[in-house]
A and B are shown apart, each in its own frame.
Chain A
Amino acid sequence: MINMREKSQKGSTVVIAVTLAMAAAILIISASRSLLFNSHQVVYFNSMNKVYRLAETGAIKAIGQLTVDPEFYITNPSLVTNVVEPGEGRYSVSIQPRNDIVGSGYWFVTTATVTAGGQQYITRLHTHLRISNAADYFWAVKERLALTSGINAAGGKVYSPQLEFLPQVGGQVTTVKKAEFVSSGNVIPTRLSARYNAADINILEPGDHRPVSLDAEIVFPQVLNSDLIRYQQLAKVGQTPQHVNCNFQGTSPTGIAAVFPPGYVGGQWTSPVADTYANHTNDNFDHVYYCPSSIGPLTIGNVRIYGQVLFVAEGDIRITGNIYSESNPEASFPGAGVSNVSSSTAHQAVLITKANVVLTRNFHPGDAATYLETVEAMIMAPHGSLSAEPYGEYNYDAFGNPTTVRWGTPDVHARLRLLISSSMIFARVESNPPNNLPTVFQAPGANPRTYQYMQSLKDKPPFYMPALAEIHWQYEETVGAGSMF
């Protein structure tokens, strides 16, 4: 009997133990399921956000590359195919030019994949955008722009809220790739004018060959303090050596001085006047000369540019004479060759300033000969103006204000011609005498001022240029979202 009681007690203990164990197991399972649920929840949202960020990163990187090389996705497809971001995931970007959604636009489809906890999270980002590379425009002005006849800009667009094509002179045809104005502004002649034809104002795009009215003003790349800081870094300001220089001048219109990128060490230093810059490095990434306002305006004239050189000034840029870009486009690029990263791919001068650009009265020596002043350079002064200094002396009114100009003898203005091969962005172009271009450059003949688009800026975009990506529309499509359970 005693044994029976002991057995019975043993049995109860086992039952109680099993019951307690089961209860504990249920509680533990329940708790662990809750923890697991919570853990899956965290992983799910982390992964969804991660894959979206990765898709945006891929799109932004592709946009950045496209701004400096319009064909990078064709020539280097590996840059947009199965690109692995360590610790993040992988993405691919399909890039197609499209004109039907936004003019001169692109359609990006960025597919990003993140794997977490054995599950795949996939987001597809559809982006319709347009790259407003500054060099796409032959001439863009935030205020009024009057274009003289004979402009040759088949590869570049013109833009101004108030755009005017001046009357045709001597049968010269004005050719532009595209002409844009703002609907709240105006265009002269009006959009439906018969002057828009191949023999007078020849607009190549769009198909109706007429100016395009935009709903809103174009936002151009700006030269802000943050941009100047970036250029200071690119010019190694504050380091040793630093590429700070404000004076690039040859000796005369025939004594042309060579100017090479600051990051170049090599031959061709005497073509025909030596490059006298003392701090050249052998770093191919160095393309920027920086001119702080504490030293003075950037003065440049009677130079020949080899390679891609950016001249960045905090203050005014004063053009004192010819700026030539080396004419041989393929040979002798400064640097270690086109296959090397950041070596020059063209001969281009790029003038960038927060202030104004002035064609000074230093070019013509004052003799009886006629001279052609040539400016082959991209000029970007989105906050400043373009003007010219007259060669004569001013007459003043009773209050000491300049009124008219007393031309020199001989009249230098009647002996000056101008050739601008460029892509230009200004806030304003001086349109009134005596500081406007027609006053200063008025040698006899049909075309004292010739303007043409510098095609190499589009074909071989210079480095470190500001550009804007206008995202017309973007749609995020969730393709794979893993599972919570």
Chain B
Amino acid sequence: MRLSRTAARRGVTLTEVVITVGLLTIAIPMLKLGMDWVNSISRQRVMMNAQWQAQVALYDLTRAVRNAESIVSVSSSTLVLRVLQPSEQGFTNALLFADVNRATMTFTFVNSGQGTHLLRRLESPTKTSDSKVLANMLVNPVGSSYMFHPYPPADTEPPFDAVEIVLRLWPSFMKTGRDNVIEYRSISMRRARAQENT
């Protein structure tokens, strides 16, 4: 009797089984739910980081067009600006407008085969500097999915006054379809005009 009692105690009672199954029935979906939540939040954070990068890039592009001396050329994947570099000469120096202080700023969508990015290149008479942003995040800008377009659209010949900028974001980690591409759009106009010739 003692033994059977002991054995019974060592074993699993029906009540315990029921309770355990009940707990697991609740715990496993909750765990799954929790993991999905964590996963979702992590993805959201990465997505927000990508959006942040896109917004910074869009702000940089928009401001570069506003500050440009002229918009040299616009194609679906490339934007070329002529800019002045006040940081080189200072704002009080009349040399601000000298050729030595002029530079070409080019934004190009690059697809290297190993990945994509937006390349920002600044070429001045003395140096060239590159920076890459939005790595593996952008939709290939072809056809109607252009990244740059003259504005108004009918304006097809340079010099251009304004540019429409569209960054289409589709980060590679997103498992969603292309219908979920996020667009960042801006129309920016340069503010400079030609200098008089005395």
Contacts and interface: CB of A to CB of B under 8 A. Distances in A.
B197 A473 contact: no
B196 A102 contact: yes
A212 B194 contact: no
B97 A101 contact: yes
A223 to B, nearest CB: 22
Interface string B75-96: 0000000001010000100101
A179 B91 CA distance: 29
Contacts of A41: 48, 51-52, 55
B198 A471 contact: no
A216 B38 CA distance: 63
Given A27-B37, A27-B41, A41-B52, A215 B96 contact: no
Contacts of B86: 126, 475, 477
The 4 lowest CB-CB distance pairs between A and B, nearest first, are A100-B94, A474-B191, A473-B192, A475-B67
Interface of A: 23, 27, 30-31, 33-34, 37-38, 41, 45, 48, 100-103, 107, 109, 126, 183, 206, 212-216, 470-477, 484
B120 interface: no
A364 B121 CA distance: 72
B41 A31 contact: yes
Contacts of A100: 94
Contacts of B197: 183, 213-215
Given A215-B196, A471-B193, 20 more contacts: A23-B34, A27-B37, A27-B38, A30-B42, A33-B45, A34-B48, A45-B55, A48-B59, A101-B94, A103-B198, A107-B91, A109-B91, A213-B197, A214-B196, A215-B195, A470-B193, A472-B193, A473-B192, A475-B86, A477-B86
A27 B35 CA distance: 10
A27 B34 contact: yes
Contact of A34 (B45, B63, B67, B191): B45
Contact of B63 (A23, A101, A472, A476): A476
Interface in B27-69: 34, 37-38, 41-42, 44-45, 48, 51-52, 55, 59, 63, 66-67, 69
Interface string B179-198: 00000000000011111111
B82 to A, nearest CB: 12
Contacts of A206: 198
